[in-house]
Structure 1
């Protein structure tokens, strides 16, 4: 790859006003919407895809989980290292174009093997989507506004899921399950071109307490990885996020199939009511989490971990109720609470990690966070639920997915405990820094 062709355009961050910042954030959020919409289409259209290509729950779990995550997670690391040294906006634009073209190809799959190849290519493209966006936002907004900015950016998953449900299910019900893949892919390619033309490359480290020259990345690829995983706090933050993401993807990647197969929803019901639940529940949860972080983490950095821990514990009984009740109307009402609370960890962890690392290592650090978060969550969560469903099928028949969700429930406690551990580590780290600062003044 020609690195010279990816070098930064002249930094525009010195003249970036509120309106320009809002445009940048809005464009990045829209790209994330497409990123997540493309990623979730297979899960949303699971029932008609299963009927057409004759695939099992285990195969569905692997294609929406492990196979996708295998490429998405590991390609993100070299892409992140490259973006830290070149133009992050160009990397994002090329990645968006690639995953959008691959999404369109998913609609052309005639069998399971072809769908696997297309989904892996989507994963390769999406590897260059989120980490560069994290870094662009961190160099566009000052530290005291990043929690809210990250919260708005992370509206991408709920909006993408909601639009995917409403748009994908409606088109599939009216025409065919392949049509949504073609339409969304075409929109993504057009968006990639607009991103390249509209978003300016911000100056690295503008809002950080270091000289601009110090923001220039100097770490080698290997040293950047060692620096991240050698930091115990960052490693535990990534692991805790992975456990929380295990729940999120394990639940969401089978939710429409569960509601249709075991609760009696139709595609038309899904397109309206499940879309509203996802959009309002997840969207409100992520936005509220960002606001809470900006309010409480300034006084106590341990809030980056204690807020997600509490949210997961509060969500557990409602998740169990969702899996237990018979009527889809009641199940969806109960599901709304976990949809609201499950994603509190996302803006919290992302904002924490971006604030803890050097400005010149933000993309690679975001990529490493996503590596663990998505390898554990996206790679293993849906795979576990799909395999559990097939395991329980001989004894529990049409209620196999319900039993698989019961098996998923203990992960709420595991993730909450990991965030409690993270909160203690952050607290100890802050005490150590305060003691060192006191000694330095003496």
Structure 2
């Protein structure tokens, strides 16, 4: 698209308003994750109302959403590399918010499945263009911190969604909770369209991208990422981490209710708010620590920061899953969140820093394609399948051991982050 027809604004104004833009993109991501994860706190109510098994719940929580979300992210990213990223985000926000509300109208599994697919279709247009805008507004030395702020949408969305969804569902039912979570996003879409800036591509990089340069093809985009070994290891690390994280987040509230004896309100009013604050602190601290250590020792350290923080969380998560005492289990869960949510900002900042300027949205979409097909798509569904398979022998504890089985993949993620750091150090 010719530069004259792009809705880009003056560089000075774009940089002056980058804080507002980052805030609005973070709020949009917050709504995205809230709408995506609202199902977690409602699973037990939906299971009883629609007479579903754990495999069906896992499909609703994971693959039904992830397949369309991930696959459609690629063409959306190609569009974002050519035209207004701001407009794509606003339209997508309106779509997924409306479809979340539509989930509350579903009368059976198929209808709820179709509505969840609609949420996935809408959310496909959010993260790739957002990553691209943030990378253009913040230079490499500040990018991990900015991405960490953006990643707060994950932590806050899951926590606030659990709080609002659980309390509304307790009083009015799970359908009302879906409506309460979904409808406000339509109004937010208008605000995003009005106030998010569309910066010049490559604005904050020493090298500037020229408008007349052709956008590389889709195949060139995939090939360029595949040729970068550090990027491949980063994608694998964040994918396995996300698989484990989506499995734990998606089934955590159900596990707390089934195996620890907590009520819906206990999870919503007490566990979720504290967990949200701790997870948010982890995300911000992880990004800032990665930026500070990278400035002192080199950009490769960011990958090792993620590895170290995730390693510290391992024994705490295992204790949360295996301990029978509810208070001790929840304490371990809260403590794990101080470390577990530190990976998103540095991971995506490193990938965006390695990406060619005209391929940032596409590299983000490729990363999200892998993350969501394997992570979000398989994580919750694997837990559901294993839980159903173990139920005849394990009874009510089948979910506990299904979560533990999936969490056992974590050491693979640690290896990939270590290897990415090694390769980045050699290159840098």
| 2:348 equivalent to 1:368 | no
Structure 1 residue aligned with 2:259, among 262, 277, 294? 262
Aligned to 1:308: 306
Is contact 1:286-1:343 (8 Å) kept? yes
| 2:153 equivalent to 1:156 | yes
Aligned to 1:175: 172
Query: Which aligned pairs between 1:6-17 and structure 2 lie closer than 5 A?
Result: 8-17=6-15
| 2:36 equivalent to 1:60 | no
Query: Which aligned pairs between 1:30-429 and structure 2 lie closer than 5 A?
Result: 30-213=27-210, 218-298=215-295, 299-429=297-427
What's the secondary structure of 2:331's corresponding residue? helix
TM-score of the aligned structures, taking structure 1 as reference length? 0.93
Q: Distance in 2 between matches of 1:89 and 1:219?
A: 21
Q: Distance in 2 between matches of 1:227 and 1:180?
A: 43
What's the secondary structure of 2:377's corresponding residue? helix
Q: Distance in 1 between matches of 2:213 and 2:354?
A: 16
Is contact 1:73-1:371 (8 Å) kept? yes
TM-score of the aligned structures, taking structure 2 as reference length? 0.96
Distance 1:16 1:86, change over 3 A: closer
1:200 deviation in Å? 1.9
Runs of 4+ in structure 1 deviating by more than 3 angstroms, as ranges, are 214-217
1:417 deviation in Å? 1.3
The runs of 5 or more residues in structure 1 that have no matched partner are: 431-442
Is contact 2:146-2:345 (8 Å) kept? no
Q: Distance in 1 between matches of 2:354 and 2:152?
A: 23
What's the secondary structure of 2:197's corresponding residue? coil
Is contact 2:209-2:358 (8 Å) kept? no
Number of residue pairs the alignment of both structures matches: 426
1:259 deviation in Å? 0.3
Deviates more, 1:51-60 or 1:304-313: 304-313
Q: What is the CA deviation profile of residues 335-382 of structure 1, one whole-angstrom value per residue up to 9, with x for unaligned ones?
A: 112223222221111000111112221111111111112222111111
Q: Distance in 1 between matches of 2:207 and 2:312?
A: 40
1:240 deviation in Å? 1.1
CA RMSD of aligned residues (A): 1.7
Is contact 1:85-1:217 (8 Å) kept? no
